[in-house]
Amino acid sequence: MSAEFAEALVIHRRAGRRIEFLSIAWTAIESIVGVIFGVLAGSVALISFGIDSVIVLREAISGLRGQPCTHEHRA
């Protein structure tokens, strides 16, 4: 692997992690707002949407933990 390619890979992985963190923050807010307003409105559909967002949030965090941030080669 060339040095230029390795450097580009590290830059793109860091950008991807930033985007993933933004997505996690957005989904966390979405889940909290969905559940709170669902309870206040008495809407089962809105509560379910909030709970679904919690599941998506859990999957996003699990996926993030599996991504290496460096350019180390894994066998």
Q: What is the pLDDT of residues 28-58, one digit of tens each?
A: 999 999 999 999 999 999 999 999 999 999 9
What is the pLDDT at residue 63?
80
Mean pLDDT of the chain: 86
Q: What pLDDT does 68 receive?
A: 56
Residue 48 host element (H or E): helix 44-65
Contact 44, 21 (CB under 8 A): no
pLDDT of residue 70: 52
**E strand or H helix at 10, and its extent?**
helix 3-41
Query: Quick one: CA dihedral 61, 58, 24, 63, positive or negative?
Result: positive
64, pLDDT greater than 90: no
Closest-CA residue to 31 (of 51, 61, 59): 51
What are 4's two structure tokens? Answer: 């230029």
